């Protein structure tokens, strides 16, 4: 490759001097400076050198329909000229109301109350506070402990980090964090679902009088390295949390918005209502095993929903920060009182931002118009294209859940993730492995040619790093 132009180098220098980059050791960033991006179009990002890169992780899992999508941009522009923002305390606006109604309808009304936050971590904080405070309002103030899963990730603020079990993010702040119970997580690679359920049961049996809620990432623990489990685990967990009177928080910040093959990952959990015709594959199949999917047109029925569902990331398709906490009438009612202090007096300045809500409504329009079916097709194209890679001696545990595809690299040397990321750039691929797990979480823009191109680019990158890969 030619050496970067002065424009690229100047922007890198200014960035390193003025911008403290997220999730980055800045000393290391001097050696591996950030890639300046000039513009985005569809799944492609363009640098100042005329090179393009396929955004294989949807810019940290947010960009569902590619960059600069015309319909979503138009919705935002229209809202911008009408009402960019108004506070949601004492005022309301159509985009927020409509968004809340539409999301609630997608749960069949089971989660009919929507609280707005600004990013994922704020949604986690809101759910933890609502759970604790609702128990307290019901006279159960001893219920103030939380349970999370091993290797689970729920964000980086102090409360969210307390229910996160990723050492590299958590350890430095451990002295500041409230104590959460961390329980064995089910991992399809280990086949340990029964053990994980038994560990959860033992904890809930002993401490349910002190436990407010269990928080999980349904079906896929993203930041753990795309660790997958079955809907059966979630079904059992729901039954168990009901049995012991403990809230269940489904953190769908990464897995919501169609990523797993349903709009909500939780829709995989319950069996289809009888008498409904079965739809084509839901895009949820994993290699060899996986839940059957269904469609997105009617509100799902017969589901045993969690007490909270959290959305963020994809809900605005990578345009504006927004998060939402959906909860039940029971939780909502616990705050209903003549006493102001029993209300949920939580807010963020940009709560329910109208521009972000307009973007989210444009995202829901896509799902109202067959996005789940399109994702099912795209997921099977990905599966077909990547299946041969499963035979590669350096590849193990090739797995898929809808529009998430991952595999682990055998005998990956230290520094593998960064080396793979840099090598992939030379193949026009922007991809960031987690440890030795390579994953794709692409925009929902996959056709057969793109899927084949992606598999070839991943294989070529592996070949660059490992001469033994044929
Ligand atoms: C990204 C993520 C969060 C945190 O969201 P932010 O917007 O980064 O604060 C929480 N939970 C899960 C499962 C996530 O993937």
For position 270, what pLDDT does the model report? 72
Place of tokens 């592996």: 462
Q: Is the CB of 62 under 6 A from ligand 1?
A: no
Mapped to the 3 state alphabet, what secondary structure does the chain carry? CCCCCHHHHHHHHHHHHHCCCCCCCHHHHHHCCCCCEEEEEECEEEECCCCEEEECCHHHHCCCCCECCHHHHHHHHHHHHHCCCCCCCCCCCHHHHHHHHHHHHHCCCCCCEEEEECCHHHHHHHHHHHHHHHHHHCCCCCCCEEEEECCCCCCCCHHHHHCCCCHHHHHHHHHHCCCCEEECCCCCCCCCHHHHHHHHHHHHHHHCCCEEEEEECCCEECCCCCEECCHHHHHHHHHHHHHCCCEEEEECCCCCCCCCCCCCHHHHCCCCCCCCCCCCCCCCCCCCCCCCCCCCCCCCCCCCCCCEEEECHHHHCCCCCCEEEEECHHHHHCCCCCCHHHCCCCCCCCCCCHHHHHHHHHHHHHHHCCHHHHHHHHHHHHHHHHHHHHHCCCEEEEEEECCEEEEEECCCCCCHHHHHHHHHHCCCEECCCECCEEEECCCCCCCHHHHHHHHHHHHHHHHHHCCCCC
Given a contact cutoff of 8 angstroms between Cβ atoms, the answer to whether 157 and 218 are in contact is: no
Q: Is the CB of 193 under 6 A from ligand 1?
A: no
For position 298, what pLDDT does the model report? 52
Given a contact cutoff of 8 angstroms between Cβ atoms, the answer to whether 227 and 166 are in contact is: no
Q: Is the CB of 120 under 6 A from ligand 1?
A: yes
> Would the annotation count 349 as a binding residue?
yes
Token pair, residue 201, equals 């049961």
State the Cα–Cα distance between residues 318 and 312, nearest whole angstrom: 10
Mean pLDDT by 10 residues, the chain (470 residues): 83 97 93 95 97 98 98 98 97 98 97 97 98 98 98 98 97 97 98 98 98 98 98 97 98 98 94 43 42 44 88 98 98 97 96 98 98 98 97 96 98 97 98 98 98 98 91
Ligand 1 pocket test target in 22, 120, 160 with most atoms within 8 Å of CB: 120
Those residues whose C-beta lies under 8 Å from the C-beta of residue 1, and which sit 6 or more positions away, are 426
CB-side exposure of 114: number of CA atoms within 13 Å? 25
Residue 271 zone, left/alpha/beta (φ > 0; ψ -120 to 50; rest):
beta
The residue whose C-alpha atom lies closest to atom 7 belonging to ligand 1 is: 120
pTM reported for the whole predicted model:
0.94
Of the candidates 85, 451, 59, 433, the one whose C-alpha atom is nearest the C-alpha of residue 69 is 59
For position 267, what pLDDT does the model report? 96
Q: Is the CB of 121 under 6 A from ligand 1?
A: yes
Ligand 1 pocket test target in 154, 350, 404 with most atoms within 8 Å of CB: 154
Token pair, residue 130, equals 């609502």
For position 283, what pLDDT does the model report? 37
The residue whose C-alpha atom lies closest to atom 5 belonging to ligand 1 is: 120
User: How many Cβ atoms from other residues are within 10 Å of residue 43's Cβ?
Assistant: 23
Given a contact cutoff of 8 angstroms between Cβ atoms, the answer to whether 441 and 412 are in contact is: no
Q: Is the CB of 312 under 6 A from ligand 1?
A: yes
Rounded distance from Cα 355 to ligand 1 centre (Å):
21
Q: Is the CB of 154 under 6 A from ligand 1?
A: yes
For position 470, what pLDDT does the model report? 66
State the Cα–Cα distance between residues 284 and 300, nearest whole angstrom: 16
Q: Is the CB of 254 under 6 A from ligand 1?
A: yes
> What residues pair up with 399 in beta bridges, in sequence order?
406
Rounded distance from Cα 139 to ligand 1 centre (Å):
31
């Amino acid at each position: 490759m030619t050496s970067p132009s002065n424009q690229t180098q100047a922007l890198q220098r200014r960035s390193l001097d003025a911008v403290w980059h997220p999730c980055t050791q800045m000393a290391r960033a001097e050696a591996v400076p950030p890639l300046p991006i000039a513009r985005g179009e569809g799944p492609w990002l363009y640098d100042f050198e005329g090179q393009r890169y396929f955004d294989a992780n949807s810019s940290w899992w947010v960009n569902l329909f590619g960059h600069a999508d015309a319909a979503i941009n138009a919705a935002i522009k229209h809202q911008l000229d009408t009402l960019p923002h108004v506070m949601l305390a004492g005022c309301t606006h159509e985009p927020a109301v409509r968004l809340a109604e539409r999301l609630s309808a997608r749960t069949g009304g089971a989660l009919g109350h929507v609280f707005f936050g600004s990013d994922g971590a704020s949604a986690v904080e809101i759910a933890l506070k609502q759970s604790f405070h609702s128990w307290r309002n019901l006279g159960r103030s001893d219920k103030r402990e939380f349970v999370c899963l091993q290797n689970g990730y729920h964000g980086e603020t102090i409360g969210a980090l307390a229910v996160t079990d990723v050492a590299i993010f958590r350890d430095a702040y451990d002295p500041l964090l409230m104590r959460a119970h961390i329980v064995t997580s089910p991992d399809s690679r280990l086949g340990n679902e029964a053990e994980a359920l038994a560990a959860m049961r033992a904890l809930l049996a002993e401490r349910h009088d002190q436990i407010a809620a269990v928080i999980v990432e349904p079906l896929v623990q993203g930041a753990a390295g795309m660790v997958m489990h079955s809907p059966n685990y979630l079904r059992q967990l729901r039954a168990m949390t009901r049995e012991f009177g403990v809230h269940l928080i489904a953190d769908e910040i990464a897995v919501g918005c169609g990523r797993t093959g349903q709009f909500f990952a939780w829709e995989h959990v319950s069996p289809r209502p009888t008498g409904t015709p079965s739809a084509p594959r839901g895009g949820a199949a994993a290699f060899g095993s996986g839940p059957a999917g269904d469609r997105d047109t009617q509100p799902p029925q017969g589901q045993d929903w969690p007490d909270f569902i959290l959305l963020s990331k994809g809900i605005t398709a990578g345009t504006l920060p927004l998060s939402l906490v959906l909860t039940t009438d029971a939780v909502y009612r616990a705050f209903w009182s003549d006493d102001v202090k029993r209300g949920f007096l939580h807010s963020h300045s940009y709560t329910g931002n109208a521009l972000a809500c307009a973007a989210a409504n444009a995202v829901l329009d896509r799902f109202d118009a067959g996005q789940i079916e399109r994702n099912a097709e795209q997921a099977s194209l990905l599966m077909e294209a990547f299946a041969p890679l499963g035979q590669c001696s350096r590849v193990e545990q090739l797995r898929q859940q809808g529009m998430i595809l991952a595999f682990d690299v055998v005998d990956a040397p230290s520094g593998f993730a960064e080396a793979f990321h840099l090598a992939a750039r030379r193949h026009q691929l922007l991809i960031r492995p987690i440890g030795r797990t390579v994953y794709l979480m692409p925009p929902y823009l996959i056709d057969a040619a793109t899927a084949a191109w992606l598999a070839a680019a991943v294989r070529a990158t592996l070949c660059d790093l490992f001469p033994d890969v044929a």
